[in-house]
Amino acid sequence: MNKKKNLLRHLQTLLIIAIVFGAVLICADIGLFFIDTNAGLIILGVIFIYFGIFISSYALERKKVLQQFIDFASEYGRLNQQMLKEHIVPYTLLDETGRITWMNDAFMDYMNVPEDYTKSVTNIIPVITREVLEKMGPYYEVETEVNGMTFLVQIKRFDLEKFADRAGSGEEVGFGGFLYGMHLLDRTKLYEYIRALDETQLVVGLVYIDNYEEVLDSVETVKRSMITALIDRRINKYLESADGIARKIEKDKYYIIFKKKYLPKLQEDKFSLISDIHSINAGEGATVTLSIGIGYNPDSYGATMEYARMAIELALGRGGDQAVVKEPNKISYYGGSVKTVEKSTRVKARVKAHALREIIQSRDNVVIMGHKISDVDSFGAAIGVYKACEVLNKPAHIVINEITNSVRSMIDKFLGQEGYPDDMFYTSADAVENVTANTAVVVVDVNKPSYCECAEILSMTKTVVVLDHHRQSEEAIENPVLYYVEAYASSTCEMVAEILQYFDESIKLKNHEADCLYAGIIIDTNNFTSKAGVRTFEAAAYLRRCGADVNRVRKMFRNDISAYKAKAEVVRNAELYNGFAISVCDPDHVDSPTIVAAQSANELLNIIGVKASVVLTEHNNIIYISARSMDEVNVSKLMERMGGGGHGNTAGAQLAGCTMEDAILRIKSVIDEMIREGEA
């Protein structure tokens, strides 16, 4: 329309020029009359002829020219419309209600609708509704799938008040309203190429045989090469199904590579290599287990390798016999159902003991802390580390905020007693005030920063040591200088007792100090009936030699009558759900409800038909969950899905911001989910 107006202006200009030229001739002719009358008459005749020809030509050709303009404009409009109709990009016009008023051929083909289709666009593109059109601004776009194809839908709103005019005059018509122009960009192929490129990315993995030395020691010498060959064959055969390769980098370690498109398949079968390797007959009582760490990071191969290294460390820290897949936004766990087997060698304990000694010697002071609501194992391990610092004449302090009944009798052996400073025990406020960059922070019986007594001090020093026996999870203490987490150990007290034997020959535990460590082993093994291995008894024997007394330890564990009544109520009100005994411990009239809940969970295992027990209690507006099992169920997996963690047959979790009823429903839901997946 604007081009048409411009053309008319040009024609009007030409007419004005012709008229002005005629006027100039008339003026010149008037002047000529004063000079020569005859010449003036001749020129006047020429002017009359000029205007006669001009007027007659204008009258005769005006209609023809205008008709040609109209024909050209109409043809030009039809050409534009035809080009838009045959354009390869799907395009349609919608009215204010979303009804289709016009569409081109490509839109009809893509949406598979006839030319006379005038229904609402919502019928074929559900995401475009009348409400969307009413709320959108001048421009809107959304990505959606239609007929198995992916489209980027772009909509432009046109204000009819601005574009409509009367007969091309430019005057506003005044009826208002909107018209929506919508076109579709087909992104199906683009995403197919992106997906194909992503699927060809390399995934890196590390496979470690957990108990290589133990397995070979359990078979005859002539069979050892055969066992090794069988393991090699199983690993390579498994990788062939994923079009991958496996290369042995050490006698018990493999490096594997495969394409990312096979990762979902391996995850779907839960890395069946883990269970398949168990079938290798390695002698009586010996089961071959391996750990798999898979890493994938699209940023770089170096980052992918680092993820694989972190994944294998996580798998080993959780006790082995499992696969861990680490991706940029998540960590997945598979396997881990076989009971972890303790290592027969204590070389690692000796190495860690020497490393801990060097760390403590190089620092000004040491702060030791366990988890919130300290228990016997946490406190006993802290006392063992405190003794190690004392031998090296390094000031040491134990962070403990709340003294529960379970540790009160032990703490009384140190508070105000000769040989122990008044500031032996810190609160969190004391720790924050006294920790410096040259302080060593030793964390015992916990590896999650959120569960520590004082998580703030972890960032106040670069020297952090972690000693724990719980399975690792994605939440971990960052950049510790010494990380000693052994899931096969019965307790942290067992690990600390081993370290003390290699720490210094002159170290001598006092009777009540040995009692604290011995008590931690007793509690976490439930009187040596759970998770007690050869090294557990060796550590207990060492503590007995140091003066630990069973009767004194038993007196530490005596409860008052209210605690016994509370435990009896927990057992009486227990609900049996798919082999899980679920109950609630009433925190009223009990000094340490979390301890009573843990003891009650152990009691419930004595009931026939109970595979595992879960006891909940509320303390300081947080619901604490204690889970226990014999050997049929790995309750640490149950608690990990609840946001907690544990140690195979002993686990726990904490829930905030929910009611007890909601917590129980959530536990039942997770139990059902584990049963469906074959995990329980």
DSSP string covering 81-143, please? HHHHHT-SS-EEEE-TTSBEEEE-HHHHHHHT--TT--SBGGGTSTT--HHHHHH--SEEEEE
Residue 340 maps to a domain: no
pLDDT of residue 10: 58
Could you tell me if 428 and 449 lie in one domain?
yes
Could you tell me if 484 and 387 lie in one domain?
yes
Could you tell me if 115 and 136 lie in one domain?
yes
Could you tell me if 517 and 477 lie in one domain?
yes
pLDDT of residue 284: 63
Residue 551 maps to a domain: yes
- Structural domain boundaries enclosing 396: 347-556
Residue 476 maps to a domain: yes
Could you tell me if 659 and 534 lie in one domain?
no
Could you tell me if 328 and 363 lie in one domain?
no
Reported pTM: 0.62
Could you tell me if 362 and 445 lie in one domain?
yes
Q: What are phi and psi of 199, to 5 degrees?
A: -70, -20
pLDDT of residue 464: 94
Domain boundary among 531, 556, 581: 556
Q: Specify the number of domains making up the chain.
A: 5
pLDDT of residue 349: 86
CA pair distance 453, 231, nearest whole angstrom: 44
Could you tell me if 429 and 526 lie in one domain?
yes
Residue 341 maps to a domain: no
Could you tell me if 359 and 250 lie in one domain?
no
CA pair distance 522, 520, nearest whole angstrom: 5
Domain boundary among 194, 217, 236: 194
Could you tell me if 169 and 251 lie in one domain?
no
Residue 342 maps to a domain: no
Q: Which H/E stretch holds residue 627?
A: strand 622-629
Residue 421 maps to a domain: yes
Angle between helices 376-391 and 347-361 (to 10 degrees): 60
What are the structure tokens assigned to 478, written together? Answer: 């960052």
Residue 298 maps to a domain: yes
Question: CA–CA distance from 604 to each of 520, 612, 613, 655 (Å)?
Answer: 21, 8, 6, 22
CATH number at residue 663: 3.10.310.30
Q: CB of 72 within 8 A of CB of 4? A: no
Residues in contact with 601: Cβ distance below 8 Å, sequence separation at least 6, in sequence order: 613, 614, 615, 626, 627, 628
Residues of the chain with pLDDT under 70: 1-15, 18, 29, 32, 57-77, 79-80, 160-177, 282-285, 336-345, 680
pLDDT of residue 27: 77
Task: Note the residue count of the chain.
Answer: 680
pLDDT of residue 330: 84
Torsion 596-597-601-604 (CA) sign: positive
pLDDT of residue 657: 86
Nearest to 81 by CA among 111, 100, 97, 105: 105
CA pair distance 287, 2, nearest whole angstrom: 86
Helices and strands: H and E segment counts in the chain: 23, 23
CATH number at residue 99: 3.30.450.20
What are the structure tokens assigned to 664, written together? Answer: 């129980």
